[in-house]
Amino acid sequence: MAQQLLSRALVSASWLSAALKESQAGAALRVLDASFYFPAIRNGRKEYAEQHIPGALYFDIDECKDKSSPYEVMLPSEDDFAKYVGKLGINNDSHVVVYDADQLGMYYAPRAWWMFKVFGHHKVSVLDGGFRNWLKQGLPVTSEVPQVKPETFKAVLNSSRVKNYEDILRNIDSKEFQLVDSRSEGRFQGTEPEPGEGVDPGHIPGSSNLPFTSFLTEEGYEKSPEEIRNLFQLKGIDLDKPLTITCRRGVTACQLVMASYILGKEDTAVFDGSWFEWFDRAQPEHKISQWKNK
């Protein structure tokens, strides 16, 4: 079989294709389609039903979340995550491979990858290049939804990898960690709108901006470790020091967590509520934006 890991977090389409031929999807190898779109210009679940990688199940990020929270896709509890993934036939020994069908190659899959990581599951990978490149390579697809046997999964949250509003507020003065925003420069600066309604663009004081798209090639693959390291260095981000990533709602932030993980940094945290929660709760002086001048 081809080399399992392209990096510390990625598997190739050729590896996954060979693994599926050799073992078939099952509890030992569970493939998940985490396609989800916001705003809802596409329907990830509907597209999954139409075609997906053979053996794959649908991982609904908008379902596997804290439904009591007023914020967008906050982490669920340990019990809720364990029950959700257990129903997908995943146990603590499963190798989980996540992909999505976004045109960028990898958009929501790193969020699902991070969720497994933060709940203590280490055998999880993202399909490099995503479904876009799976199709481009002419690899098989199906509309058949596999029937799976529920498994027992034990989730243990690593709370040091999750930052809350109070952590970020305190950090403005204490500067305990570097804070990096993965949204586009326009949304960060406040020169272009945030998607959806009720949230203006802007950023948290003291944060720097490194768009997640910087880490992807035009073809939708992750850039090389050397290129990734250079991107962090050019922004003055020290990977030897504490690092937290924010974005709109804790999704594209996970791209930067994955990128730093590829370089060997395993302690990068995510501000789970991200800008959506910050905009709702922070004082006006703690929301830096050019939007009000437009």
pLDDT at 2: 39
Q: pLDDT tens-digit profile of 131-152?
A: 999 999 999 999 999 999 999 9
User: Could you tell me the domains of the chain?
Assistant: 10-136 (3.40.250.10), 159-293 (3.40.250.10)
State how far the Cα of 256 lies from the Cα of 268, in Å rounded to an integer: 9
What is the CB neighbour count within 10 angstroms for residue 265?
16
Question: Which of 94, 289, 286 shows the shortest CA–CA distance to 202?
Answer: 289
Question: Which of 99, 131, 110 shows the shortest CA–CA distance to 34?
Answer: 99
3-state secondary structure 25-52: CCCCEEEEECCCCCCCCCCHHHHHHHCE
**All residues at 6 or more sequence positions from 82 whose CB lies less than 8 Å from its CB, including other chains:** 119, 153, 154, 155
Q: What letter would DSSP give residue 21?
A: H
Which residues are known to be catalytic?
247
3-state secondary structure 74-138: CCCCHHHHHHHHHHCCCCCCCEEEEECCCCCCCCCHHHHHHHHHHCCCCCEEEECCHHHHHHHCC
Q: What letter would DSSP give residue 200?
A: -
pLDDT at 27: 67
Rounded (10°) CA dihedral 190, 105, 270, 243: -90
Contact between 237 and 268 (Cβ < 8 Å): no
pLDDT at 3: 44
Question: Which of 287, 282, 267 shows the shortest CA–CA distance to 163?
Answer: 267
Exposure string for 116-133, b = 16+ CB within 10 A, e = fewer: bbbbebeebbbbbbbbbb
Q: pLDDT tens-digit profile of 151-180?
A: 999 999 999 999 999 999 999 999 999 999
Question: Which of 172, 205, 202, 198 shows the shortest CA–CA distance to 189?
Answer: 202
State how far the Cα of 280 lies from the Cα of 164, in Å rounded to an integer: 13
The pTM of the full predicted model, rounded to 2 decimals, is 0.95
In degrees, to the nearest 5, what angle opens at C-alpha 50 toward C-alphas 47 and 54? Answer: 105
Residues of the chain under the 50 pLDDT cut: 1-4, 294
pLDDT at 1: 35
